[in-house]
Structure 1
Amino acid sequence: MSFIVAVAAMICIVCVPTFAQRGGGRGGPAAGQTVEKIKMLKPNLYEITGGGANTLVRVTNQGLIVVDTKNPSDENFNRLMEEIKSVTNQPVKYVINTHHHPDHVGNNQKFIDAGAQVVALEALKTWMGNDPRTKDIPGRPTQTFSKDYTLKLGDAEVRLYSFGRGHTGDDTMVYFPDMKVVMVSDQITDATPIVDFANGGSAVEWTKILDGVLALDFEQAIPGRGEPKSKADIQAYRMKFDTVVKR
């Protein structure tokens, strides 16, 4: 099935409340069920796949920043920490959530219990509380922002952008300017894009998010699942998605 036909079909059916997928639900296609080995993207920036959405780990001289915490389970959390500790013994100081789906926020509370702050868009609190899949998952954000936010820890700066609604109503792009890397989460997937209309998603605004991302100076875009993408990949994806929305 072509990208255009697949996206158009998915936009039509994702609004059905009973729609679900193994592992990711509206959060995306099923990911590897086991947390995998940590991989270095760049010095002091790592990716951990499997167990839900991709997780990023930024190492600073004053602790760690973790992006997304995978599906909720003791096994996932323990494996995540095992992989993190294989490269550094520094504590996790901040967790950033890209949106409220369970494969991205599932182990927030465990990080909070260990002393971390969870940073997310203010709207994430609302959608996490309203979504039947996440309302009973503990670990609401401890620090929120309404639009854009710059997080500084030690020698690192992370910029958080809310360019609009796309995959959900609380999507956040996480940009590491010194690394020229941006976490785009489920705004880019290797499978069919999913617009979670029930939780604030918008096919129309999706391209606005991609435009915001393309305005950034980056070399790698990290999706919620799948391999890192180039700027050219994002440009091609945006053109295809725009074609769907205009039809």
Structure 2
Amino acid sequence: MKKNYILSVLLLLSAIPLWAFQDMDNVKIKVIPMSENIYMLTGRGGNIGVLTGNDGVFMIDDQFAELSPKIKAVLDSLSGQPVKFLLNTHFHGDHTGGNANFKESGAVLLAQENVRQRLKENNEHPAEDKLPVITFNEEISLHLNGNDVMALHVHNAHTDGDAIIYLPQGNVLHTGDTFFNGAFPYIDLDSGGSVAGDIEAAQQGLAIINKNTRIIPGHGAPAGYEDYRQYLEMLKGIRENVLSAISNGASREQIIEDESLTSSYYTDAEVKDSFISGPKIRATFYDSLQAENNQ
């Protein structure tokens, strides 16, 4: 499962004060072709998915408000059409920060209904112009640019409002933050995320794709089926290891300190500078599994 690179997920939530002090001037938006008329954009924050065509641009996530002009410039180079629909995979600020800017430019905002509620409750995002205007519970489909865009709600995974988006004609899947390629997962327990849900999300994603599918993860490099499958196996393996330790009487503190529970995937040294370090992921698994046991 080890890779030659380790994703340093230092910047995830707009609630982290560091965001307010970051200089976005030097951020460059990179375009990675994924399939015909389908692209992945990277910059700072969550990976963006883009589908272009005569029907207008369909975009998945939008990073930070400060980057909207750069993102729009790149989109203009890819398509002469405006952003018609913008779908948020979840509510975190590195995926929704540009909502108001794109809505002002005419984009229709869509998301799972819990995303709208979370954005309304978040003091960083109180304004109506940042809120999705179309919400769905379990799934929604759009038909444009020769693709049937399928957005599926995966329950209590990274958060309580995650959606994975599959474009079958292009054979591209955007997982949002239910998949971090090359890193431990970030499971936001305070926002409805859970280990069980994150595992189920990966299982559901793998069930609807095939060996040739190209994957846009929430963070990290573009991925394929095998990367996604190995990510699922990591989640299952850590769960099994932590459950075994709990059954053997290990305390929360002992589990956090026990690197052997996770080192076959990434050592603590490898991820020491990542947002989700070894101790953090072990604490997350312990807390989530204990909560499940107490239900």
TM-score by length of 2: 0.71
Change (3 A) 1:227 1:32: farther
Does structure 2 retain, via aligned residues, the 8 Å contact 1:27–1:186?
Answer: no
Other structure's SS at 1:215 match: helix
Mapped contact 1:27–1:194 kept (Cα < 8 A)? no
Task: Report how far residue 48 of structure 1 moved.
Answer: 1.1
1:46 aligns with one of 30, 36, 39: 39
Q: Which amino acid aligns with 2:218?
A: G
SS in 2 for 1:150: strand
User: Which residue of the partner structure matches residue 163 of structure 2?
Assistant: 172
Secondary structure in 1 matching 2:238? helix
Deviations 1:85-106 (A, max 9, x none): 1121111110010000001011
**How far apart, CA to CA, are the structure 2 residues paired with 1:45 and 1:152?**
14
The 1-side partners of 2:83 and 2:49 are apart by 12
Please point out which of 201, 204, 219 is paired with 1:212. Answer: 204
Partner SS state of residue 236, structure 2: helix
Q: 1:35 touches 1:80 (CA, 8 Å); kept in 2?
A: no
The aligned counterpart of 2:178 is 187
Contact 1:32/1:51 (8 A) holds in 2: no
Matched, 1:25 2:19: no
CA deviations over 1:119-144 (Å, ceiling 9, x no partner): 10011111122234444684100111
Structure 1 position 244, deviation (Å)? 1.9
Deviation at 1:51, TM superposition (A): 2.5
Tell whether 2:162 aligns with 1:162. no
Structure 2 regions of 5+ residues with no counterpart? Answer: 4-8, 244-295
Q: Which residue of 2 aligns with 1:13?
A: none
Structure 2 Cα separation of the partners of residues 26 and 195 of structure 1: 16
**For residues 32 and 230 of structure 1, do their structure 2 counterparts lie closer, same or farther at Cα, with a shift above 3 Å needed?**
farther
- 1:225 and 2:219 are equivalent in the alignment: yes
Q: Percent identity of the aligned residues?
A: 25
Alignment partner, residue 235 of structure 1: 229
- Contact 1:100 1:128 (C-alpha < 8 Å) held by counterparts: yes
Judging changes above 3 Å, is the alpha-carbon distance between structure 1 residues 22 and 231 closer, same or farther for their aligned structure 2 residues? closer
Shift of 1:56: 1.1
- Superposition deviation, residue 185 in structure 1: 1.6
Kindly tell me: are residues 196 and 175 of structure 1, through their superposed partners in 2, closer, same or farther at Cα, counting changes over 3 Å?
same
Deviation string 1:175-214 (CA, Å, 9 cap, x unpaired) is 1100111001211112221111111111121111111001
The code of the aligned residue for 1:23 comes to: L
Describe the superposition over 1:58-83 as per-residue Cα deviations: whole angstroms up to 9, x where unpaired: 0122111011010222xx00000011
RMSD (CA atoms): 2.5
Moved more, 210-219 or 91-100: 210-219
More helix by proportion, 1 or 2?
A: 2
Mapped partners of 1:137, 1:242: distance in 2: 39
Q: 1:63 aligns with which of 36, 53, 56?
A: 56
Q: Distance in 1 between matches of 2:123 and 2:183?
A: 24
Write out per-residue CA displacement over residues 14-69 of structure 1, whole angstroms, 9 at most, x where no aligned residue.
xxxxxxx85313899x9995142322222201111012211111012211101101
Measure, in 1, the Cα distance between the counterparts of 2:206 and 2:196: 17
Mapped partners of 2:72, 2:43: distance in 1: 13
CA contact (8 A) 1:173 1:185 kept: yes
* Cα contact 1:169–1:200 (8 A) shared by 2: yes
Tell me how far 1:157 sits from its aligned partner: 1.6
* Corresponding residue pairs, total: 226
Q: 1:145 aligns with which of 136, 146, 149?
A: 136
SS of residue matched to 2:142 = strand
In 1, Cα distance between equivalents of 2:221 and 2:132: 28
What is the CA deviation profile of residues 191-239 of structure 1, one whole-angstrom value per residue up to 9, with x for unaligned ones?
Answer: 2211111111111211111110011124111111211111111111111
- Structure 1, unmatched stretches of 5+, are 4-20
